[in-house]
Amino acid sequence: MRRFLLLTVFLFCSITYVNEVLALDISRGMILSNSCAACHGTDGKSPGAIPSIYRKSAKFIVQALHEFQDGKRPATVMGWQAAGYSDEEIRLIANYFSSRP
């Protein structure tokens, strides 16, 4: 019985911790994504000719940003927009956009 109780407490703490880490990741991603909103719109829903990134997969966004950084993907502005972000920041931004409801 005591073991079961300890296990329950342990599991509860682990789940709470994972949830907090995920929430923190998403809010850091949200802050970083603010600079994208000027062109891509809130939540990535672009208003005009700029491609929308709303609901694009995290994998697609990560790959696109790396290709913009490396100059492998044709770009008018994204080359210098993507420059300067670390892999970790790109992951956070991509996770944020792909998680929009």
- Specify the residue, 12 or 71, whose C-beta has the smaller distance to ligand HEC: 71
Amino acid sitting at position 45:
K
- Specify the residue, 27 or 35, whose C-beta has the smaller distance to ligand HEC: 35
Please state the closest distance from residue 20 (CB atom) to ligand HEC, in A. Answer: 25
Cα 76 from Cα 62, distance rounded (Å): 18
Cα 33 from Cα 56, distance rounded (Å): 14
Please state the closest distance from residue 62 (CB atom) to ligand HEC, in A. Answer: 9
Cα 2 from Cα 84, distance rounded (Å): 52
Please state the closest distance from residue 9 (CB atom) to ligand HEC, in A. Answer: 40
